[in-house]
Amino acid sequence: MVKFFIYVASSLIILLAIYLSVFEFLLYFFQTSFQGEIKNPLAHSRTWTYLLKQEYVTFIELDVFNIHEKRHLLDVKRVFEKVYTLWIIFFSLSVLILTLFLFQMKEQLKKLLQHIAILGMIFNTFLIVFFLNFLNAFKLLHTFIFADNTWTFPKNSLLIEWFPLLYFKEFFLLFLFFTFIILFLVNPKKHLPHHQKSK
């Protein structure tokens, strides 16, 4: 029972590190929809710099946004900072756990990787179900993270032009794509054994 708990807890920590790593990767390398044309690309670039790289927390200093949009961007920046902190924690724990298994419990490492792959496939299956009702899931997530009436904007808002619902759908699909690839690679059973030819 204790070993099972260790496997599950370790698997969840490493799995969260994988998910957070993919999320952080996409934040830096997928910043606009595949089908979108960026209006005011300089302001768009400075907005991402504000969200991801500016160390001090304050309103974004761009006149293209109204106060309502600036407040939301500040909220988003704070969320990203918390996610980054969680990524550092879980990534560090994952390195520690994998090092421990590699040098002290090497014979159990294969089983740990199997647990990670299985749990990841289960979670990704639930994520696919959420994607089938993406709009409601999107609204629910925003309602949970942000205060009421702080994340809705008119259609002519620059934030809506830069980040339409399509952008978040594509971000989500890329997240699933990369996590499925990683889970496939870590699964020690990904290759079927070769059958020996009968003599």
Number of domains in the chain: 1
Domain-located, residue 68: no
Tokens of residue 137, six digits: 């899931």
Domain-located, residue 94: yes
Domain-located, residue 61: no
Domain-located, residue 70: no
pLDDT at position 37 is 80
Other CB atoms within 10 Å distance of the CB of residue 190: 11
pLDDT at position 148 is 86
pLDDT at position 190 is 59
**How far, in Å, CA of 78 to CA of 83, rounded?**
9
Indicate the pTM of the whole model: 0.90
Per-residue pLDDT of the chain (199 residues; tens, 9 = 90+): 777 788 889 999 999 999 999 999 999 999 999 987 888 999 999 999 999 998 888 899 899 999 999 999 999 999 999 999 999 999 999 999 999 888 877 778 888 899 899 999 999 999 999 899 999 999 999 999 999 889 999 999 999 999 999 999 999 999 999 999 999 998 877 544 444 444 3
Domain-located, residue 13: yes
Domain-located, residue 69: no
Domain-located, residue 169: yes
Domain-located, residue 66: no
Q: Which residues contact 90 (CB under 8 A, 6 or more apart)?
A: 13, 16, 17, 20
**Helices 109-132/134-145 angle, 10° precision:** 110
Range of the domain at 141: 2-41+81-186
